[in-house]
Amino acid sequence: MDPAYLALLGFAVFGASILQAATGIGYGVIAGPIFLVALNGTEALQISTLHNLLIAIILVPMLRGGVEKRILGFLAAGSIAGIAFGLFLQAELSVVALKLVAAAMVAFVALTLVSDMRRKSAAVSTFGEPGIEVASVGVLSGIMGGMLAMPGPLAATWMSIRSYEKASVRSTILAFFVFAYGANVLSYTAVSGFDAQTLKLAVFLTPPLVLGIAAGWVISRLLSEMLFRKILLSVLTATTVMLLSSVV
């Protein structure tokens, strides 16, 4: 691969991992689609899966105190069937179809977040959500995780709409990633394995990933609740535009 191209991927990985460490999501919806556009194959989603799992494993021990365990349990339980179905869709759909589905889902999440940010009513209570609602979010997040290595946006946006603070969102989603991406890795290993070139590229891009995590950890302490939502919205919007532009 061309050195300039590798440098561009490294820069994308650095920026995406900063956002992931600072907000709890971001890597899958930035680096994942960039890999998909650059590599034009499902190996892009395998690299995104490996990197996301590494980020979660590094950060979760430092954030475990902020995890909403009840929410995490329902998300994980709901995602089991969703991940399996998502992996089936990934195998059956073309790369163009995967890009279009990704763009549609990310755009939906962005519009949902905009609607919530414009509401004038009081914040919704974070207590007493029915388990079926959270589990349903887990199913949809699992589908997105299995199909596109993006289980985070839907779950994070739901928690934000439910008025959980950014620290809880960040901690819970990263803990959910250990389960979701771990399931993806086990599935890839059992079904198709990882191509040597895919693993080589994933390892090559690990240094900018680690540097981004360190930078994001510092930045996370400077984000306000409103800025957190605005950054999330910006990421979702940019991802939608990039995916759509890659198929026209």
**Span 204-226, average pLDDT:** 86
Q: How far apart are CA 112 and CA 83, in angstroms?
A: 23
- How many Å is the maximal CA-CA distance in the chain? 53
Decide: residue 230, CB within 10 A, 0-12 exposed, 13-18 middle, 19+ buried: middle
Transcribe 40-108 into DSSP letters. Answer: -STHHHHHHHHHHHHHHHHHHHHHGGG--HHHHHHHHHHHHHHHHHHHHHHHHS-HHHHHHHHHHHHHH
Instruction: Write out the two tokens for 65.
Output: 């105190």
Annotated domain spans of the chain = 3-245
Name the range with the highest mean pLDDT among 27-36, 149-158, 180-189: 180-189
Contacts of residue 5, Cβ cutoff 8 Å, sequence gap at least 6: 38
**Span 186-202, average pLDDT:** 90
The residue assigned the tokens 């699992």 is 142
Angle at 159 between CA 83 and CA 34, to 5 degrees: 55
**Amino acid (1-letter code) at residue 28:** G
Q: How far apart are CA 210 and CA 240, in angstroms?
A: 26
Name the range with the highest mean pLDDT among 31-40, 76-85, 111-120: 76-85
Between residues 179 and 156, the one the model is more confident about? 179
% of the chain exceeding 90 in pLDDT: 37
pLDDT at 52 over 90: yes
pLDDT at 185 over 80: yes
Question: Which pLDDT score is estimated for 233?
Answer: 82
Q: Per residue in 10-38, pLDDT tens? A: 988 998 898 888 777 778 878 888 888 88
Q: What is the mean pLDDT of the chain?
A: 85
The pLDDT-based confidence of 120 (bands split at 50, 70, 90) is low
Q: How far apart are CA 12 and CA 30, in angstroms?
A: 8
Cα(first)–Cα(last) distance of the chain, in Å? Answer: 24
Question: What single-letter DSSP state applies at residue 123?
Answer: P
Between residues 40 and 25, the one the model is more confident about? 40
The residue assigned the tokens 């919806």 is 29
pLDDT at 63 over 80: yes
The pLDDT-based confidence of 122 (bands split at 50, 70, 90) is very low
Decide: residue 163, CB within 10 A, 0-12 exposed, 13-18 middle, 19+ buried: middle
| Counts for the chain of helices (H) and strands (E), in that order | 11, 0
Q: How far apart are CA 231 and CA 229, in angstroms?
A: 5
The residue assigned the tokens 């589908």 is 143
